[in-house]
Amino acid sequence: MTQTQQDGRTRTFGWTDPAVHAELIGRRSGLDLLQAMARGELPAPPIMQLIDLAGLEAEEGSVTLRLDPQEFHYNPLGTVHGGVISTLLDTAAACSVHTTLPVGVGYTSLDLTVKFLRPITIASGRLTCTGSVLQRGRRTALAEARLVDGRGKLAAHATSSCLIFDL
């Protein structure tokens, strides 16, 4: 549950126990897990509740996230904080790797290189962040993510390396 009141500058949100997702890693493939979240059959992880993610789509090798910029995402300069943007990019890139993993295999991000290209505000419109696997080996994967604003203009992009391991 997320309730936001911009004028009153208040926000309330709830989240589910993150152990729910951790337990499913050993029982579902990455693609199955993410598609179940996209369909609403499984709750989104707490970070997605925190930033108020508007949507998730997953297919093999690619994940797309949607976010409507809101005032509570802002930094002191009046634009969306780079940490929120980096969270979207990291999630899209890493989850694209997750879609390629079978049951019992996990991953973690090794690095994230972000390039911020333009300021993002509420006026930017709905953000779309798409991650794609560029290369996957037995123990590591390379992925990228591109974030575009509501007009389709590239606002930020990132590359990420992920470590793949058996659980």
Beta-bridge partners for 66: 55, 128
DSSP 30: H
pLDDT band for position 3 (cuts 50, 70, 90) = low
In Å, how far are 25, 58, 70, 78, 160 from 66, measured between CA atoms? 24, 12, 13, 20, 19
**Interval 11-54: pLDDT, tens:** 888 898 888 777 777 789 999 999 999 999 998 899 999 999 99
Percent of the chain residues past pLDDT 70, beyond the cut: 96
Would you list the domain boundaries of the chain? 16-166
b/e burial code for range 114-152 (CB count within 10 A of at least 16 → b): bebeeebeeebbebbbbbbbeebeeeebbbbbbbbbeee
In Å, how far are 18, 98, 162 from 165, measured between CA atoms? 20, 11, 10
Task: Give the pair of three-digit tokens for residue 155.
Answer: 């606002």
pLDDT at 109: 97
Task: Give the pair of three-digit tokens for residue 101.
Answer: 């993993």
pLDDT at 48: 93
Fold adopted by 16-166? Thiol Ester Dehydrase; Chain A (3.10.129)
Which pTM was predicted? 0.93
